Amino acid sequence: MKQISKKASRQQASQQQASRRLLAIVIGFGFGLAALGGVVYAVIPGRADLGSPEIGGSFTMIGQDGRVVTNADLAGRPYLVFFGYTHCPDFCPTALFDISAVFKELGPDKKVAALFVTVDPERDTPDVLKTYLENFDSRIIGLTGDTKKVEAIAKSFRVYAKKLPSEKTGDYTVDHTGVVYLMDKRGKFVSAFNLQRPPQQAARELEAYL
């Protein structure tokens, strides 16, 4: 009986130790997400009861036509915000094609917009953005600016972006947050906008904010 009792005690201690390790991992993971500025929170469904995080705000950027674009220019219409860059090999063009498909479902007369904010201002000049965005819906607006402006708007949306140089090519890519943000007519953050669904369904959600 004593041997069984000792064995059970060792098993219980082992389980407690494993639980503590698991808890530490979970806590560490939570702190890791917090360090990213809460972006993951924005894409977790069913959390509206906790209130929306502070995302977005005022900005002054340069559009693909070379003109100044501010948050006030978007007033009165819901819009999407997506951060990326024109040299992005796959994710960015896919997202922009998906947004274009959603806008097509809404029809050309619906007052909506999408902001494609570059995380690569060194290469994404207004002219480069203009040429690139000709492949997508005309209601998608490209935004660029100097490094400080880009960093400021990225920070306001809790966006992570890091340049990754390539030793082989001498060029670089940019690792960045891939969330699409839905903003209402007042420019207030609503939620992350899911593009991984039929465009008709996504269009219905966006239309509810018109």
List the domain boundaries for the chain.
2-35, 55-207
Closest CA to 77 of 114, 51, 108, 105: 114
55-207 CATH choice from 1.10.357.10, 3.30.420.10, 3.30.70.580, 3.40.30.10 = 3.40.30.10
pLDDT at residue 46, as a whole number: 34
Which residues are 82's β-sheet partners?
116, 180
The pLDDT tens digits for 61-106 are 999 999 999 999 999 999 999 999 999 999 999 999 999 999 999 9
pLDDT digits (tens, 9 = 90+) for 164-200: 999 888 899 999 999 999 999 999 999 999 999 999 9
The alpha carbon dihedral of 62, 63, 67, 72 has a sign of: negative
Q: Which has the closest alpha carbon to 208: 102, 55, 87?
A: 102
Q: What is the pTM of this model?
A: 0.77
Token pair for residue 141?
């607006």
Q: Which residue reads 């530490």 in tokens? A: 24
Indicate the average pLDDT of the chain. 83
pLDDT at 167: 87
